[in-house]
Amino acid sequence: MATETAHPEPKPDRGDVIPESFAVYVTAEWVHVWQYRVNVSEPDGAWYFVETLDRANDPKLSMDHASPTAPTPDGYWIYSRTYDCELDCE
């Protein structure tokens, strides 16, 4: 499903988030997914890169309580409580 393992830029900058929630960055070509996690090494929480999806594969995203940000020339963020993806498997 993922097309790369190194995390892309930009990284989410929102800090007032619920643990285990997601940030999805959408560009013309890609969808980059991050998750906010709390663990022993980051007790206050941190954003962790999950995957990058190629928009040419027509990913279908499902999110709950999604909050989009204003678009920029490069893309836009969607912050969501949940995230699930299904790809067109042709």
89 exposure class (CB count in 10 Å sphere: 0-12, 13-18, 19+): exposed
Q: Is the pTM of this model over 0.75?
A: yes
User: Domain total for the chain?
Assistant: 1
Report if residue 65 sits inside a domain: yes
pLDDT tens track for 37-46? 999 998 989 9
Structural domain of residue 81, as residue ranges? 22-86
Which positions ≥6 away from 5 have C-beta within 8 Å?
none
Report if residue 11 sits inside a domain: no
* Position 2 pLDDT exceeds 70: no
Measure the CA–CA gap between 42 and 55, rounded to whole angstroms. 32
Report if residue 7 sits inside a domain: no
Report if residue 80 sits inside a domain: yes
